[in-house]
Structure 1
């Protein structure tokens, strides 16, 4: 007969378990699958430990699930995190279930193979949004090159990013109040674009400078990683949930989990939330492109970004192909055909979707975007955005989606 843990003890054990799971999963890579801003002594304790055996971590997950001292939304959120941790640890030795089931266990959604007819519709949308001349892939790549920051102006990139941060922040504040003392630093980095909230109203927006920067994507990237995307969500949930509601579990966020699906879905919708219609293109033209002498080519930025969001589904299909053991050349051909990426991008993507955990991770983008799209298309859209930024919304609340779990 079990004795239910006191909430404070349970939450301590949960935080320590999340740190141990992260250490077990990333001990050979030096990366992380955990966003942690909890007690420093717990982090130090786990840092000094040897990695725990997977079987022990799996049993610890099961124990905390059995001894859950909370109910309702709080219990559902924590249970989703624990199930994801358990699945990831169980799959770390290669003994994973089929990818669809593995993704369901980790992400809490029915992440299935998407029919190519979905991508064909997105291709038709791109066909109408891009300047004419050549294959669709060639036209998309030419569009990206048209709006590339000129090499002799590359020193201006931090300034341009800060302009975009200021604008996206101001527009986000029209939806939800933000702390006046928020400070966001822009750092150029060879890694992927990413937004990191350090706590204490301080954040860093890392912008990839190892490839040419497409300025037509500037607001798309900054809104996703910053406001109203990842930085805004992390900061506002710290304020509203940890500081305001006394829910310390929101300082411990396992990244490959149901909450991640919603975070990445919000990120892909972020630009359109604060720049509806053609507002992003008009702002970029007036404030970034024209001052740099970059002339418009008649393209429709909003339609292009919307179609490219759909094409994340092709990346998910590539993960299924990789899980089936298909050869690299076949996956490269698939991605260049349907995701419209370059050969070099496709070869990088193959390595990405063959990396354990990343095949699940990539599925979260398309399915997060897909799940949120009908839910945000609502008369109370602003209120729903505020909820995503300040509350632990559950996937089961997205009633418009027939595949919800």
Structure 2
């Protein structure tokens, strides 16, 4: 019975994914898959399943789950994943949900949906403006510094070489507390025309391909955070460990498929978001940048410029979260785009890209996985044992609500 149930679980995920992609080509449910190829091929070769049939399948899957003989933690994980798919099917059938309910049902998150006060954004920019080297208009100074810290278009392909160096450094530090599979590997590719900066595509067999979007990602400052988030000890490390320890060693078939609209994503994005601060202090990041990377790129900056940190990275998620809440209040798109431009100090094209990203089906709620996942995991990573706890989280089938209960 178990084998048939897990086959049905995978087939449902791919069938929902197929329908979502018809609604919007860049909207998807399945992020990666390395299970039996025949299951994926079956869905590829059949017509799209009507939404009411998907909903019925999800209900049947949930009802059968109680009859499976599963370990408690695994059963909780699977139950929450099935609930997420069931909710997606309800929405595909025309049912509407508040943002609160969508976060609870799809991502296992119960959050106070209050906006971050704009005064926090303004104060962050005021502090940054005081320390930003140079004179004159602050935006002019900011653009000039960022241009110096970015590869010019004619040398953009060099970013691959620098990305590999950053991945090598983060891998070296990760190996101090994580036993990564011996034959794991990451390849880096350049893309354009995407709404994201970088993306990890996990391929199975402990392999990942990381795509870097040249339309957005050109700054040397982003190198170490990128390598930590997408590679070590972030997404690639997590998925390689789960493939090794959960799929191969324990037979957890559900780990072979990644569902973006699910509690699984909250834990994954939370771990990846916290990964840079786990490996590096701000001073260590700055030292690596100025001593290792910038000399190779022929970039010279002053110590004051090296120490200066743009508030954009710290404010990025908070401002976007507020923008989503504004949309749910009924604010017009133009007003929300101006909001993004004002508090992130980005141009019209960048604001439009950010707006388009979370206007895809379910992606407005997905934005909360980064901040909420990090907030959920952060209290566990405060002590001297934070590295061992982080390592254990990388290889466990966790759910947000279960972690919250344990912390309480």
TM-score of the two chains, using structure 2 as the length reference: 0.88
Gaps of 5+ in 1: 1-5
Checking the alignment, whether the CA contact within 8 Å between 1:371 and 1:401 is kept in structure 2 is no
Checking the alignment, whether the CA contact within 8 Å between 1:113 and 1:316 is kept in structure 2 is no
What is the rounded CA distance, in whole Å, between the counterparts of 2:284 and 2:129 in structure 1? 21
What is the rounded CA distance, in whole Å, between the counterparts of 1:145 and 1:324 in structure 2? 36
Counterparts of residues 68-79 of structure 1 (less than 5 Å): 68=65, 69=68, 70-79=70-79
Change (3 A) 1:366 1:137: farther
- Which of 40, 43, 46 is 2:40 aligned to? 43
Counterparts of residues 79-228 of structure 1 (less than 5 Å): 79-92=79-92, 95-111=95-111, 112-116=113-117, 117-120=119-122, 122-123=124-125, 126-127=128-129, 130-131=132-133, 133=135, 140-190=142-192, 191=194, 192=196, 193-211=198-216, 213-228=218-233
- Which of 300, 317, 321 is 1:316 aligned to? 321
Gaps of 5+ in 2: none
Q: Which residue of 2 aligns with 1:67?
A: 64
Counterparts of residues 226-245 of structure 1 (less than 5 Å): 226-245=231-250
Q: Are 1:396 and 2:404 counterparts?
A: no
Task: Provide, for residues 287-329 of structure 1, a one-character-per-residue CA deviation record: whole Å limited to 9, x for no partner.
Answer: 1112323223424669657x72443022122122223332122
- Shifted more, 330-339 versus 136-145: the winner is 136-145
What is the rounded CA distance, in whole Å, between the counterparts of 1:123 and 1:378 in structure 2? 31
Q: Are 1:26 and 2:21 counterparts?
A: yes
What is the rounded CA distance, in whole Å, between the counterparts of 1:324 and 1:94 in structure 2? 21
Checking the alignment, whether the CA contact within 8 Å between 1:96 and 1:102 is kept in structure 2 is no
Task: Provide, for residues 249-295 of structure 1, a one-character-per-residue CA deviation record: whole Å limited to 9, x for no partner.
Answer: 10022111111012112222222222234211111111111232322
- Which of 5, 12, 24 is 1:10 aligned to? 5
Q: Are 1:373 and 2:378 counterparts?
A: yes
Checking the alignment, whether the CA contact within 8 Å between 2:33 and 2:204 is kept in structure 1 is no
- Shifted more, 290-299 versus 217-226: the winner is 290-299
Q: Secondary structure at the match of 1:206?
A: strand
Give the paired residue count.
Answer: 397
Deviation at 1:136, TM superposition (A): 6.3
What is the rounded CA distance, in whole Å, between the counterparts of 2:236 and 2:362 in structure 1? 23
- Shifted more, 208-217 versus 232-241: the winner is 208-217
Q: Which residue of 2 aligns with 1:387?
A: 392
What is the rounded CA distance, in whole Å, between the counterparts of 2:307 and 2:381 in structure 1? 20
Task: Provide, for residues 95-144 of structure 1, a one-character-per-residue CA deviation record: whole Å limited to 9, x for no partner.
Answer: 42122221221111134233215545644664566446567666554443
Q: Secondary structure at the match of 2:75?
A: helix
What is the rounded CA distance, in whole Å, between the counterparts of 1:401 and 1:141 in structure 2? 45
What is the rounded CA distance, in whole Å, between the counterparts of 1:151 and 1:109 in structure 2? 41
Checking the alignment, whether the CA contact within 8 Å between 2:116 and 2:318 is kept in structure 1 is no
> RMSD between aligned alpha carbons?
2.6
Checking the alignment, whether the CA contact within 8 Å between 1:277 and 1:302 is kept in structure 2 is no
Change (3 A) 1:217 1:344: same
